[in-house]
Chain A
Amino acid sequence: MIKHLFKLINKQWRKNVWIVLELFLVISLFWYVVDFFSVLFINSRTPVGFDIENTYKINMGVYSPNSNNYTQHEAGSHEPAENFLRIIERIRQHPEVEVVSLGHLHYPYCLSSSNTNYKLDSVIISTQILSVTPEYFDVFRVKLSKSNDKTYIENALREGLIISKTINDELSPDVSLIGKTIFKYDDTPTFVSEVTNPIKRHEYSVPTNYIFIPFEEKSLFGKNEQEIWENVDICIRARSGKSAQNFPASFKKEMKNELGIGNFFLADIVPMDNLRKEIFKMESIYKSIQYRSAFTVFFLVNIFLGIIATFWLRIEKRKGEIGIRIAIGSTRNQIQVQMLMESFILMLIALIPAIIVWVNIVRSDLLSTTYLPVTSERIAINTVITLVLVIIAIVAGTWYPAQRSAKTEVAEALHYE
């Protein structure tokens, strides 16, 4: 049967060349378009390393000097810092607040970062610095390797550097760095006190190198409100069970006056999930998904139209041939199957040069490695998605003409000539 079909296709090469060309173009491009989805899929299967459920970021505002509510302080006064710490204490006292953490650019999905290099032997890596209070690990449920006890964490943070798993993996692949020393860019030795679980920047990236250093509250003294605002971020974990819808609104209402101390005022309390959505927006992940989905639909509709048009015209032309087949004894089912097989073979013919194009796409480094290096898993998923979707489009396009051809009346068909 297959040999027979090949012969048929060969004979009518002229008519088939365009649909094969279109299939080739679409299969090649499609593979590139769906690559992004494969990356998202592969990365979404590894854990992100922190838990943001019931966590919020508290945004304070600062009155500007020409505002009516502004209170003048002398330069270097401790009052701004004292006011600020009083605000933090009041947040801590709120019955629905479980833990409060302070830090600088330390929260998940933060858009800004502070980086530095660390090295061991001849390996140099770039790391992101998070300065945190010990409560950070509780607010975001980041696990240390030996214990998650509050006092243990406090000591570990003070005694040395806490590093994330990927730093250990890169600098010392099989041996734990706990208790050992690594070196800053200027060769200062630093003691490593603990290693955390792998932490990712967001759901769709690979784990990143983070180091944790203690956030010193006393560094705030002497700074004015604007400087404090620029250097501290406040994150909280609320008690679970409280409905996520009500907490921000009720907190704002209850705490608005209590947290308005000096030149600070409560601006907003934002669920961490909002920051997650924002980072996806900033990195154009939503945009990429939308664009690529649109291209996918576009290509599939084109194939569908192309196949349905090709096969429709084919029935018109080959009425005679179909009539003879039915007369000789083909069942209607066999005729339909024959048409489907023809279209599959056309796809296979288009697949061979398409595979060459895929190989070249990988060789020319056209695949983005921002979120994931090019792995064989990624290539395999691209191929599977491409073939499955194209086959669906082909089957959909062949189905109706195949149905119609099977319904041909024999006498009419033979008479057609």
Chain B
Amino acid sequence: MIKVYLKQAWQLMKQNRFYSTVYILGTGLAISLVMVIAIVYHIKTADMAPEVNRHRTLVANTAVAEHVNGRGTNNAYLSYHTIKECFYTLKTPECVAVAAPVGLLKFFMGSIFANKEGENDMHEVYLGCTDANYWKVFRFSFLEGKPYSEEEFQSGYQKAVLSESLARKMFGKSDVVGSVVQVNGTDYIVGGVVKDVSTAMTESYADLWVPFTTVPTLVNLSMGENLVGFFTAYILAKSPSDFDAIRQEIDRNKEIMNQSQKEYKLKLGENYPPSQTILSITNVQEKKDYKDIILQYLFIALIFLLVPAVNLLGLTSSRMQERIEEFGVRKAFGANRPVLINQVLVENLLLTLLGGLVGLLISYMLVWMFAETLFSDSFFGIEAPVTISPTMLINFSVFFSALCVCILLNLLSSLFPVWNASRKQIVEALNDK
């Protein structure tokens, strides 16, 4: 029966070119903007290399040191002292990695320049200052060599990992393990070269990485009686169900540490730290709740669907008026309302799916063209162009969301008119002209 419907639908489509074109365009328009939202959400929250553990990672960044006499607060990130006392000592998670925020480093340390040893050609770079566990929590693709080990990190050994494009820019090739680079005048030996990371990956993007123990200014930058500083902790849980247990353990460690503090005490928020998924879609500046953000996304998506849906409703409605006669004839021959409704829905579904395909292609184009607006984190100011790889766009969850949106739109725009039109009595319908 479906086959018959589809054949009929194809015929009808060819017969009513104008109607079909406008319907497909309208649907494409509706789908495209909603799909842009869905794609952006997917890229920001799904597990994607090198951030392959997003679903089970907690990100602890902001922290507040509160003066005991209410004289004020110091708001920043975690200091090395806090990390050693509260985070490295955690037993519940699988691993705890620590890194300094790449985009903000420029503001705290000034511009960072890398050059080949002995050469004057300086390249301004985004520097990742991390520990050794960083390479366990994030899965980078090593083209050459390997990252610095735990021993090398602890001893402050000056070893660096380069991105492929930086290696090529500086040396002309990527096989540079063992060469020496200078970062703001300090020598580092290259230990490994990794495949480039897209700037859309906000927690793992950089041009080169070094152990943060080789950057004393960063380690010593702390305020509020050594409680806050400029580090972020990435806590890899064994599974998301451990999140609450980890949060409680952090809270206990914090209380113990606060007991030996005299002037300032560390204050961490409720439900701290948030998971990486939640953090990636909330905005530090606007301080909105996760629920509020999701509601906002859904509301905007609804508007984007609703306005074209009303368009399509009008279109379908007038089309239905023409077919009342046809319905009358078919009813006279024994068709009942559900049969008529089903048929129209299937016909419209064909148009909707075609529109959905058009919309999906438009949304890919929009995401690619406006990548910088959609993904660059304005607060952290990373200025490199955003690269979107095909796997980010073409995958099961994107297609599935597109399909759901199509079906929803179809129901929204066709159900009411056809329900209404098929209501008319046979005689009335046959007489209606």
Asked if residues B216 and A66 are in contact (CB atoms below 8 Å), the reply is yes
Q: How far is the CA of A302 from the CA of B379 in the complex (A)?
A: 33
Tell me whether A66 and B214 are in contact in the complex, defined as CB-CB below 8 angstroms, given that A22-B307, A25-B306 are known contacts. yes
Q: How far is the CA of A320 from the CA of B109 in the complex (A)?
A: 78
Asked if residues B373 and A287 are in contact (CB atoms below 8 Å), the reply is yes
The listed residue (B29, B111, B378) touching A298 by CB distance below 8 A is B29
Instruction: Kindly state whether residue B368 has any CB partner on chain A within 8 Å.
Output: no
A301 nearest CB neighbor, chain B only: B29
Asked if residues B381 and A15 are in contact (CB atoms below 8 Å), the reply is no
Q: How far is the CA of A171 from the CA of B3 in the complex (A)?
A: 79
List, in ascending order, chain A residues with CB within 8 A of B18's CB: 312
Asked if residues A67 and B186 are in contact (CB atoms below 8 Å), the reply is yes
Asked if residues A68 and B187 are in contact (CB atoms below 8 Å), the reply is yes
Tell me whether A226 and B307 are in contact in the complex, defined as CB-CB below 8 angstroms, given that A18-B313, A63-B184, A67-B184 are known contacts. no
Most buried by A among B182, B313, B318: B318
User: Would you call the interface of chain B mostly helix, strand, loop, or mixed?
Assistant: helix
**Could you give, for residues 266-283 of chain A, a 1 whenever the CB lies within 8 Å of some chain B CB and a 0 otherwise?**
011000000000100111
List, in ascending order, chain B residues with CB within 8 A of A298's CB: 29, 33, 304
**Could you give, for residues 284-312 of chain B, a 1 whenever the CB lies within 8 Å of some chain A CB and a 0 otherwise?**
00000000000000000001101110110
B36 nearest CB neighbor, chain A only: A294
The listed residue (A15, A25, A61, A68) touching B310 by CB distance below 8 A is A25
Q: How far is the CB of A271 from chain B (nearest CB, A)?
A: 15
The listed residue (B29, B113, B306, B311) touching A309 by CB distance below 8 A is B311
Q: How far is the CA of A309 from the CA of B182 in the complex (A)?
A: 65
B23 nearest CB neighbor, chain A only: A309
The listed residue (A60, A281, A309) touching B314 by CB distance below 8 A is A309
Q: How far is the CB of A376 from chain B (nearest CB, A)?
A: 27
Instruction: Kindly state whether residue B76 has any CB partner on chain A within 8 Å.
Output: no
Q: How far is the CA of A229 from the CA of B185 in the complex (A)?
A: 17
Asked if residues A18 and B317 are in contact (CB atoms below 8 Å), the reply is yes
The listed residue (B25, B158, B216, B378) touching A65 by CB distance below 8 A is B216
Q: How far is the CA of A65 from the CA of B111 in the complex (A)?
A: 17
Q: How far is the CA of A226 from the CA of B215 in the complex (A)?
A: 13
Q: How far is the CB of B49 from chain A (nearest CB, A)?
A: 27
Q: How far is the CA of A31 from the CA of B79 in the complex (A)?
A: 46
List, in ascending order, chain A residues with CB within 8 A of B317's CB: 14-15, 18
Instruction: Kindly state whether residue A29 has any CB partner on chain B within 8 Å.
Output: yes
Asked if residues B29 and A290 are in contact (CB atoms below 8 Å), the reply is no
The listed residue (A21, A22, A70, A305) touching B29 by CB distance below 8 A is A305
Instruction: Kindly state whether residue B415 has any CB partner on chain A within 8 Å.
Output: no
Asked if residues B216 and A25 are in contact (CB atoms below 8 Å), the reply is no
Q: How far is the CB of B17 from chain A (nearest CB, A)?
A: 12
Q: How far is the CA of A111 from the CA of B103 in the complex (A)?
A: 14
Instruction: Kindly state whether residue B22 has any CB partner on chain A within 8 Å.
Output: yes
List, in ascending order, chain B residues with CB within 8 A of A310's CB: 314, 318
- Range of interface residues on chain B? 35 or more
Q: How far is the CA of A111 from the CA of B113 in the complex (A)?
A: 23
The listed residue (A287, A299, A312) touching B307 by CB distance below 8 A is A299
Residues of chain A in range 42-86 having any CB-CB distance to chain B below 8 Å: 59-70
Q: How far is the CB of B23 from chain A (nearest CB, A)?
A: 9
List, in ascending order, chain A residues with CB within 8 A of B215's CB: 64
Q: How far is the CB of A106 from chain B (nearest CB, A)?
A: 16
The listed residue (A61, A268, A290, A306) touching B311 by CB distance below 8 A is A306
Asked if residues B370 and A63 are in contact (CB atoms below 8 Å), the reply is no
User: Would you call the interface of chain A mostly helix, strand, loop, or mixed?
Assistant: helix
List, in ascending order, chain A residues with CB within 8 A of B356's CB: none
Asked if residues B303 and A29 are in contact (CB atoms below 8 Å), the reply is yes
List, in ascending order, chain A residues with CB within 8 A of B311's CB: 18, 22, 302, 305-306, 309
Instruction: Kindly state whether residue B26 has any CB partner on chain A within 8 Å.
Output: yes
Q: How far is the CB of B153 from chain A (nearest CB, A)?
A: 15
Residues of chain A in range 293-344 having any CB-CB distance to chain B below 8 Å: 294, 298-299, 301-302, 305-306, 308-310, 312-313, 317
List, in ascending order, chain B residues with CB within 8 A of A309's CB: 22, 26, 311, 314-315
A312 nearest CB neighbor, chain B only: B18
Tell me whether A61 and B379 are in contact in the complex, defined as CB-CB below 8 angstroms, given that A18-B310, A66-B216 are known contacts. no
Instruction: Kindly state whether residue B338 has any CB partner on chain A within 8 Å.
Output: no
Q: How far is the CA of A10 from the CA of B182 in the complex (A)?
A: 79
Instruction: Kindly state whether residue B172 has any CB partner on chain A within 8 Å.
Output: no
List, in ascending order, chain B residues with CB within 8 A of A313's CB: 315, 318
Instruction: Kindly state whether residue B217 has any CB partner on chain A within 8 Å.
Output: yes
The listed residue (B33, B111, B156, B304) touching A61 by CB distance below 8 A is B111
Q: How far is the CA of A310 from the CA of B321 in the complex (A)?
A: 13
Instruction: Kindly state whether residue A291 has any CB partner on chain B within 8 Å.
Output: yes
Q: How far is the CB of B421 from chain A (nearest CB, A)?
A: 11
Q: How far is the CB of B58 from chain A (nearest CB, A)?
A: 26
The listed residue (B33, B110, B308, B370) touching A62 by CB distance below 8 A is B110
Instruction: Kindly state whether residue A234 has any CB partner on chain B within 8 Å.
Output: no
Q: How far is the CA of A284 from the CA of B370 in the complex (A)?
A: 14
List, in ascending order, chain B residues with CB within 8 A of A387's CB: none
Asked if residues B307 and A67 are in contact (CB atoms below 8 Å), the reply is no
List, in ascending order, chain A residues with CB within 8 A of B156's CB: 66
Q: How far is the CA of A298 from the CA of B366 in the complex (A)?
A: 12
**Could you give, for residues 100-138 of chain B, a 1 whenever the CB lies within 8 Å of some chain A CB and a 0 otherwise?**
000000010011010000000000000000000000000
Most buried by A among B29, B185, B215: B185
List, in ascending order, chain A residues with CB within 8 A of B314's CB: 15, 18-19, 22, 306, 309-310
Q: How far is the CA of A19 from the CA of B214 in the complex (A)?
A: 66
List, in ascending order, chain B residues with CB within 8 A of A111's CB: 107
List, in ascending order, chain B residues with CB within 8 A of A18's CB: 310-311, 313-314, 317
Asked if residues B318 and A15 are in contact (CB atoms below 8 Å), the reply is yes
**Could you give, for residues 199-232 of chain A, a 1 whenever the CB lies within 8 Å of some chain B CB and a 0 otherwise?**
0000000000000000000000000001001000
Asked if residues B381 and A278 are in contact (CB atoms below 8 Å), the reply is yes
List, in ascending order, chain A residues with CB within 8 A of B214's CB: 66
Q: How far is the CA of A18 from the CA of B307 in the complex (A)?
A: 10
Q: How far is the CB of B317 from chain A (nearest CB, A)?
A: 6
Instruction: Kindly state whether residue A167 has any CB partner on chain B within 8 Å.
Output: no
14 contacts between A and B (CB under 8 A): A18-B313, A18-B314, A22-B314, A25-B303, A29-B303, A62-B217, A64-B184, A65-B216, A65-B217, A68-B186, A68-B187, A70-B185, A229-B110, A282-B378
Nearest 3 CB-CB pairings of A with B: A18-B314, A67-B185, A22-B310
- For the complex with contacts A63-B185, A287-B378, A305-B25, 12 further pairs of A-B residues with Cβ separation under 8 Å are A18-B310, A19-B314, A22-B307, A59-B111, A62-B217, A64-B184, A267-B111, A281-B378, A302-B308, A305-B26, A305-B311, A306-B314
